[in-house]
Amino acid sequence: MTDIYTRLGARPVINASGNTTVWGGSTPSPAVQRAMDEASGYWVEMAELLEKSGELIAEALDVEAAYPTSGCFSALVLSTAALMTGSDPDKMAQIPDTTGLKNDFVFQEAQSYGYDRAYSVPGGKLVKVGDKNGCSIEQMEAAIGPSTAGIVYLVTKNNTDSVVSYDDATKLAHDHGLPILADCAAQIYPIDYFLENAQKADLACFGGKYMGAPHSTGFLCGRKDLVDAAVGHGFISPGKPFGRAMKMDRQEIVGLVTAVSEWFAMDHEERLLMAGGKLGIIQDAVSGLDSVAATSIEASDNYMAIALNVTLDTKALGKDAPGVIEALSNMSPRIRADTAGADSLLLVAHNLTDGEPEIVAESLRTALSE
């Protein structure tokens, strides 16, 4: 019997990488899948479901309010809209026309990234300060003007001392009576770090897929007045809401809340032990090959928290790490992994289901032996 993707003419992927959108986004846990299946059996008042789900998420994060969204990008779009319009119905009806509205958002050039277009979707304008090498607090402060609606910040553990910190950017915003909007998409582990990120900004945005929620889910959270304004732009708001296209299924909302609850309740040490065991199967299969210079299972600084690094002897192998990735992609089943430079592979296990570590191990061994 073939799998559903093969029957549709698409090739399934075994994902030894992160929660990448182009490979499908997430693997809902059994509890999340059961909750979604149960939700399919009933209709519901969506406004009530969104309200109660937001309350449950807010309670878990100890913030004033929260609102489920169709992914983190949508959360950023709705948050940006909320900061420009508040809950003023005339302003809400006006966007993306921002005539007469404060629509400038101070943003560090060094933090520019692939998804910062979210801020311009509802009519926001990024006022980029500093350069690609860094920014100072003085440069950020000088960029604040009469049209400034807020400061936006990309939260990541990769920020260096050359950029203004999340703490300092937040203080600067508040010293000037401005809100700060934070993109915290995958910044959810450790739990204390998750809570800190959610509680610091006036509005913080997260992706649900990183904690086992459906791929197309996320949420925004923070000050109740601003969350309420974002809700006013949401897909079921009356009139002609800006966010109408950002719909969510009732099943997705239930799946998101279930995943958030699971993330806070689970034993993360056990989660990492299980991931380490899966990676150990792959490590054992390739250690000792002439084409492998070294292997190590190491702590990661993201929600996956643990990864397998395979350092290649590219001269003995006759190809570099991208070449190995291509070979894995051409196998059946197709396998996705990452590179960490020209001579290193990076594999993670949190998306691997039962039996898949063994398949990855065999396929990787083959790719490194040819």
- Cα 357 → chain centroid: 24
pLDDT at 159: 86
- Whether residue 324 is predicted with pLDDT greater than 50 in this model: the reply is yes
Domain boundary among 230, 265, 300: 265
HEC readout, the chain: CCCHHHHHCCCCEEECCCCCHHHCCCCCCHHHHHHHHHHCCCCCCHHHHHHHHHHHHHHHHCCCEEEEECCHHHHHHHHHHHHHHCCCHHHHHHCCCCCCCCCEEEEEHHHCCCCHHHHCCCCCEEEEECECCECCHHHHHHHCCCCEEEEEEECCCCCCCCCCCHHHHHHHHHHCCCCEEEECCCCCCCHHHHHHHHHHCCEEEEECHHHCCCCCCEEEEECHHHHHHHHHCCCCCCCCCCCCCCCCCHHHHHHHHHHHHHHHHCCHHHHHHHHHHHHHHHHHHHCCCCCEEEEEEEECCCCCCEEEEEEECHHHHCCCHHHHHHHHHCCCCEEECEECCCCEEEECCCCCCCCHHHHHHHHHHHHCCC
Q: Is residue 32 part of a domain?
A: no
Query: What does residue 158 show for φ and ψ, rounded to 5 degrees?
Result: -90, 0
Number of structural domains the chain divides into: 2
pLDDT over 50 (residue 155): yes
Tell me the C-alpha distance between 65 and 226, whole Å.
Answer: 9
Of 216, 234, 265, the last residue of a domain is 265
pLDDT recorded at residue 287:
95
Q: What is the pLDDT of residues 53-67, one digit of tens each?
A: 999 999 999 999 999
Q: Is residue 206 assigned to a domain?
A: yes
Q: Let me know whether 250 and 274 are in one domain.
A: no
| Res 1 pLDDT > 60 | no
Phi, psi of 70 (to 5 degrees): -85, 65
Residue 130: pLDDT over 50 = yes
pLDDT for residue 329: 96
Least confident of 153-162, 181-190, 250-259: 153-162
- Across the chain, mean pLDDT equals 96
Q: What is the pLDDT of residue 2?
A: 65
Kindly give the pairing relationship between strand 344-347 and strand 180-183.
Answer: unpaired
pLDDT level of residue 301 (50, 70, 90 thresholds): confident
Q: Which of 96-110, 112-126, 248-262, 302-316 has the lowest mean pLDDT?
A: 302-316
The pTM (predicted TM-score) of the whole model is: 0.95
Based on the domain organization, do 243 and 329 belong to the same domain?
no
Poorest-confidence range of 17-31, 79-93, 117-131, 242-256? 17-31
Q: Which domain holds residue 341?
A: 4-23+267-367
Other Cβ atoms less than 10 A from the Cβ of 356: the count is 18
Residue 35 has a CB neighbour count (10 Å cut-off) of: 21
CATH number, domain with residue 101: 3.40.640.10
| pLDDT tens digits, one per residue of 93-122 | 999 999 999 999 999 999 999 999 999 999
Residues 230 and 274 in one domain: no
Q: Are residues 290 and 242 located together in one domain of the fold?
A: no
pLDDT of residue 263: 98
170 and 289 in a single domain? The answer is no
Residues 271-287 as b/e (b if ≥16 CB within 10 A, e otherwise) read bbeebbebbebbbebbe
Contact 13, 335 (CB under 8 A): yes
Share of the chain above pLDDT 90, in %: 93
Same domain, 214 and 126: yes
pLDDT at position 125 over 60: yes
Q: What tokens does 320 get?
A: 């570099």
**Per mean pLDDT, which range of 167-176, 195-204, 243-252, 291-300 is the poorest?**
291-300
- Whether 287 is covered by a domain: the verdict is yes
Instruction: Give the pLDDT of residue 308.
Output: 96
